[in-house]
């Protein structure tokens, strides 16, 4: 089973969505964690838009990337263009992608939903490519 790390700046919106989708669609296919370069807290609007599609991420927490070892992961996905700020050991995993998704922070709930739907599609494709 491949181990995947989703990384974003704050680990509060996009990476939390990816973690929720990966747990839901990747069960028994991939092991997943998300983290942030400057972790904060999970955005309540993110929890809300995921609950709209019956994915509960209310127990997920924002975690610092420094708490993890790059060598433990097969794939690293940067969600916000922050790949350029990642330590080299994270970028040199077997799979590295930088999805550069828009940040829904301070945006309308419709923007959160659009990002959620984009994230879902990309996570499903990633799971298929790693399985």
What residues are labeled active site?
8, 80
Rounded distance, CA 8 to CA 102, Å?
11
Q: Which tokens in the block code for residue 8?
A: 């974003």
4 phi and psi, to 5 degrees? -120, 135
Phi-psi region at 80: left, alpha or beta (left = phi > 0; alpha = psi -120 to 50): alpha
């Amino acid at each position: 089973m491949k181990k995947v790390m989703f990384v974003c700046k704050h680990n509060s919106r996009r990476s939390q969505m990816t973690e929720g989708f990966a747990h839901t669609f990747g069960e028994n296919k991939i092991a997943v964690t998300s983290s942030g370069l400057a972790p904060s807290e999970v955005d309540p609007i993110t929890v809300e838009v995921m609950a709209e599609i019956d994915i509960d991420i209310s127990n997920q927490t924002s975690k610092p990337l420094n708490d993890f070892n790059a060598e433990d992961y097969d794939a690293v996905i940067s969600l916000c263009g922050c790949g350029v700020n990642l330590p080299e050991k994270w970028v040199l995993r077997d799979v590295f992608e930088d999805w550069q998704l828009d940040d829904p922070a301070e945006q309308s709930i419709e923007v959160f939903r659009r990002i959620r739907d984009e994230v879902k599609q990309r996570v499903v494709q990633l799971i298929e490519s790693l399985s």
